[in-house]
Amino acid sequence: MTNRLFFRELFSKGLARTLTGQALAFAIALALGAVIILMIDESPVAVFLTLMRGAFGDTEKIAGTLLQTTPILICGIAACIALRGGMFNVGIEGQLFLGGFAAAWVGFAFSLPPVLHVLAAMTLAVIAGALWIAIPAFFRVRFGTNEVVSTILANYIATLLTSYFTIFLFKRPGGWSETPPILTSAYLPELFSFSRLNIGLLIGLALAVGVTAFFRWTSAGYAATMVGSAPKFAEYGGVNVRRVGFGVLLVSGAVGGLAGGVETLGVHHRFMEGFAPGFGFDGLIAALLANGSPIGTIFTALFFGALRAGSLLLEVDTTASREIITVIQALIILAVSADLMMPRRGDRTGERRWKF
Amino acid sequence: MEILSNLFNVALLVAMIRTTTPILLVALGGSFTTKAGIFNIGLEGQMLIAAFFAVVGSIWTGSSLGGMVIGVAAALLFALIYAILVVSFRANEVVVGLALNILAGGMTVSLLKAIFGTRGSVVGRGIVGLPKIQIPGARDLLGPSTAQLISGYTPLVYVAFFAVPLLILFYNRTRLGLYIRVVGEKPEAAEALGISIVRIRYAASLLCGLFAGLAGAHMSLGYITMFTENMSSGRGFMAVAILIFSGGDPLKVLAGCLLFGFADAFSLRLQTFGFPSYLVLAVPYAVALVALFVLSWRARPKRIRETVDTIRRALSVHPSGEADRNAPLPRS
């Protein structure tokens, strides 16, 4: 899907059509979402207004929205990188958990000078994320083992493994299932006094710009894009398809780990079981919704962040469950994936990418 | 020695047959789509939604059969949406599958709260579980301990295991089965024969939904009669892993599922011996991953190999030699 869309945008008589298509898809998804909200005996309008109020009601709420946006954005960029290389990294959730734990461990187990401490913790988070995807990535490029399934399965192991570390090895005495708090020298600086919003958001924005620039203006970025969209062409042009594919997945995993580090050092200041539920998946669908464009992901991540922040109020003010936003997100992805404005091709066998 | 005999006994085999059942059902369902050339990552969601609606249906109708039917209907609906998007709208199958999984997760939790007013799980409340079938005479013939190997399971256990030979017959002896295989292996040939690829892929997708629905119903109405959030816990993904290295062949699917059933039952057993539960729970996923890595390179698609060969021939890089044919990819 993604690549088809890239190309249409490139040879663009299609950009306008893409945008109309996306808008139509959104409308359909929201209509379906309204039907489901009616099914659970709530008023769609009330739910929508509550979501908006929860997301943008006052400055604190807006900061809360941005706080939720941060991990989704960074995870989304991780997904974008893999998508550009023609692969799905569905394991961002796992990389996020391991990265988060690694950063927290550096945070509470060592004492270092302030800036260095953050850098060390972040570095280990990045390494943990990259290492966690290294084995699936190796088998993907060497033997063509489907990376979607291997990274999903790795998620479950990562979650259980970090829970094991937290509860059996590093549990805070007398606490719940969480590690000791990290030292203040490892805290990410906060942006405002009234919110836990931190420079993680700026890291995410910088990454989005950096990754876009990398893919647009460097030859390595061009090689990676070609490996994703036209591997045979890339190979013919002398690109080492395997090495580039491996590198792309590794970097994607590293960014996933970074997202975990930002979350523990910036928000929770410790690692706890289930500290970041679903951020990895939200990031992936934000990236899909943005057609794999990191800049577009900023906006889709903001949208999902707003939904998440709004859903907190939803749980308080209405009887609806906050998971209703997951339903809306999934419906949007389904509607967008149908790509309604795309003229159907005549041949029915068609080419399908991402086959195993 | 005593620990070993406690670990490995008839009860472990029985537990293994029980834990194998849902994953076998869902993997057999996935074999239809795999054979039809569709990569169905949405099995997990179909199973989960079926598990939820099986519970709801069993409370509404007051019977386990009613629950099963409603659960299967929900899975069929998901399978239909999947087919419409993937087959008719030609959407990316991974994206649609993942989105449907997320949809199933969100919907079950939302509906759980809307219908039962709780979070997390629903137990009791008049859920009717599937009956256990005692095979008459098994006890007298085999004695009490061996008899439990073949008797006393829910009907779906028998359905799952008997479906394996039936599916072999289906793929080799029935028209639909052959068509599904042709559509998956050589779509061009199917088209030349006048087989409607769209219709066959719809049929395969719905058959898949049927089996995934049964798997879900067995999860929530089988040996435990309850629904919990995300209770499918990755079994659908394990089934996809099995499908990748088995290529959807029923016998290989059975072998893979027995391996996971064993890993599952064994990990539950280890837990009772005081191993840290988090590590033990990760065992089935680790087994799935290792099996995927070890076995998948052998089951790689013929198509890539063929394409590689044609490219070589076209570029006349290698004059076609048998030895090269087995090489995974042209080295760069």
Is the confidence at residue B210, as pLDDT, over 90? yes
Q: What angle do CA B34, B35, B39 make, to 5 degrees?
A: 20
Q: What per-residue confidence (pLDDT) applies to B266?
A: 84
**What's the pLDDT band for A220 if we cut at 50, 70, 90?**
confident
Contact criterion met (CB < 8 Å) for B85 and A156: no
Q: How many CB pairs under 8 A join A and B?
A: 192
Nearest residue, CB atoms, A149 vs list B102, B198, B240: B240
**What's the pLDDT band for B321 if we cut at 50, 70, 90?**
very low
- The answer to the question of residue A46 being in a domain is no
Q: Å from A32 to nearest chain B CA? A: 12
Radius of gyration from C-alpha coordinates of chain B: 22
When pLDDT is averaged across residues A142-150 and rounded to a whole number, the result is 84
Q: Does A330 touch chain B (CB under 8 A)?
A: yes
Q: Does A161 touch chain B (CB under 8 A)?
A: yes
- Among A40, A42, A47, A148, most B C-beta atoms within 10 A, so best to mutate, is A148
Judge whether A260 and A75 are in contact, CB under 8 Å.
no
**What's the pLDDT band for B50 if we cut at 50, 70, 90?**
very high
- The answer to the question of residue A8 being in a domain is no
A186 compared with B311, residue with greater pLDDT: A186
CATH number at residue A300: 1.10.3470
- DSSP β-bridge partners for residue B226: B123
When pLDDT is averaged across residues A333-345 and rounded to a whole number, the result is 66
- The answer to the question of residue A334 being in a domain is no
**What's the pLDDT band for B299 if we cut at 50, 70, 90?**
low
- Among A156, A167, A344, most B C-beta atoms within 10 A, so best to mutate, is A156
Contact criterion met (CB < 8 Å) for A337 and B85: yes
Distance, in Å, from the CA atom of A205 to the CA atom of B113, rounded to the nearest integer, reads 36
Distance, in Å, from the CA atom of B54 to the CA atom of B214, rounded to the nearest integer, reads 9
CATH topology assigned to domain B2-273: ABC transporter involved in vitamin B12 uptake, BtuC (1.10.3470)
- The answer to the question of residue A222 being in a domain is yes
Residue A261, helix vs strand vs coil: helix
Q: Does B238 touch chain A (CB under 8 A)?
A: yes
Nearest C-alpha in A relative to B277: A164
- The answer to the question of residue A231 being in a domain is yes
Render pLDDT for A40-80 as a digit per residue (tens, 0 to 9): 777 888 888 888 888 888 888 888 899 999 999 999 999 99
Is the confidence at residue A335, as pLDDT, over 60? yes
Distance, in Å, from the CA atom of A316 to the CA atom of A325, rounded to the nearest integer, reads 14
Is the confidence at residue B328, as pLDDT, over 70? no
Put residue A202 in one of left, alpha, beta given phi > 0 → left and psi -120 to 50 → alpha.
alpha
Q: Does B279 touch chain A (CB under 8 A)?
A: yes
Put residue B117 in one of left, alpha, beta given phi > 0 → left and psi -120 to 50 → alpha.
left
- DSSP β-bridge partners for residue A214: none
Render pLDDT for B106-158 as a digit per residue (tens, 0 to 9): 999 888 888 888 887 888 777 887 877 777 776 677 666 666 777 778 888 88
Cβ count near A189 (within 10 Å): 12
Out of B145-154, B164-173, B189-198, pick the least confident: B145-154
CA distances from A293 to A74, A214, A301 (A): 13, 12, 12
- The answer to the question of residue A42 being in a domain is no
- DSSP β-bridge partners for residue B123: B226
Q: Å from A164 to nearest chain B CA? A: 5
Q: What are phi and psi of B227, to 5 degrees?
A: -120, 130
- The answer to the question of residue A102 being in a domain is yes
Contact criterion met (CB < 8 Å) for B276 and A164: yes
Contact criterion met (CB < 8 Å) for A348 and B197: yes
Q: Does A273 touch chain B (CB under 8 A)?
A: no
When pLDDT is averaged across residues B34-38 and rounded to a whole number, the result is 89
Q: Which of residues 300-319 of A touch B (CB under 8 A)?
A: 319
Is the confidence at residue A351, as pLDDT, over 50? no
Portion of chain B with pLDDT greater than 90, in percent: 26
Q: What is the pTM of this model?
A: 0.85
Domain region containing A220 = 68-318
A79 compared with B222, residue with greater pLDDT: A79
Q: Which of residues 19-48 of A touch B (CB under 8 A)?
A: 36, 39-41
Q: Does B41 touch chain A (CB under 8 A)?
A: yes
Q: Does B286 touch chain A (CB under 8 A)?
A: yes
Render pLDDT for B251-287 as a digit per residue (tens, 0 to 9): 999 999 998 888 888 887 887 777 777 888 888 898 8
Domain definitions of chain B by residue range: 2-273
Q: Kindly give, in sequence order, each residue whose CB lies less than 8 Å from that of residue B287, ignoring residues fewer than 6 positions away.
A: B259, B260, B263
Contacts of A239 in chain B (CB under 8 A): 332
Nearest C-alpha in B relative to A318: B114
Tally of domains in chain A? 1
Q: What per-residue confidence (pLDDT) applies to B297?
A: 64
Q: Is the dihedral of CA A167, A171, A175, A177 positive or negative?
A: negative
- The answer to the question of residue A158 being in a domain is yes
Contact criterion met (CB < 8 Å) for B198 and A348: yes
Tokens representing A207? 């990454």
Nearest C-alpha in A relative to B298: A143
